[in-house]
Chain A
Amino acid sequence: RKEVEQDPGPFNVPEGATVAFNCTYSNSASQSFFWYRQDCRKEPKLLMSVYSSGNEDGRFTAQLNRASQYISLLIRDSKLSDSATYLCVVGEGGNKLTFGTGTQLKVEL
């Protein structure tokens, strides 16, 4: 079983749609959680951290469910510019971050 699992997609959605991605992790001792965004042929960049209480940044909402060991990312009112691969990242303390393989999102007109 992979340490961090994501549905690879692609998720093809129309502009303005709401889309949600889930990610599951295997290590119950994981301490920190993040979503990164990677555009085609570009490097990953931090999108947002994920806190136990859930957090929101504009159109993006991240949730953490420790009991079920999954993390979610909700994007409302999708824009063409949201098209990218979204990487779920889990930290186990120290310097170790484990990346999921990513979920590809394509927002279409």
Chain B
Amino acid sequence: DVKVTQSSRYLVKRTGEKVFLECVQDMDHENMFWYRQDPGLGLRLIYFSYDVKMKEKGDIPEGYSVSREKKERFSLILESASTNQTSMYLCASSTPGGGTGELFFGEGSRLTVL
């Protein structure tokens, strides 16, 4: 069964803290994505990666960075968390070929920044 696992379901951090969100997939997918989901705004793409050590900015990369050292793992980093980064963060993976539509999501990490 397809599996995307996010390391933390719920996190509470303070303004200025460095935050790591980890995502692991067991499907040998080349593509991995980080989205955030906010009420009224839907899912917005932060970063994606189509290969190890490769990354591309999405629509809202400001304040975030990513790391993909291994094919199965894609990390999202908030260098200095701010209250406007309070959100639900969703990791996803897919096979290459682009636009196939079958994104497999993790269960999400709800981050609260105080």
Contacts and interface: CB of A to CB of B under 8 A. Distances in A.
Contact of B45 (A45, A87, A96, A100): A96
Given A42-B107, A43-B107, A43-B108, A87 B98 contact: no
Question: Which residue, of A34, A43, A87, A102, has the highest number of chain B Cβ atoms within 10 A?
Answer: A43
A95 B101 contact: no
Given A43-B108, A95-B48, A101 B41 contact: yes
Contact of B42 (A34, A42, A99): A99
Interface residues of B, number: 24
Interface in B10-51: 31, 33, 35, 40-45, 48, 50
A42 B31 CA distance: 21
Interface residues of A, number: 24
A94 interface: yes
B62 interface: no
Interface of B: 31, 33, 35, 40-45, 48, 50, 56, 90, 94, 98-103, 105-108
Interface of A: 4, 8, 31-32, 34, 42-46, 49, 87, 89, 91-97, 99-102
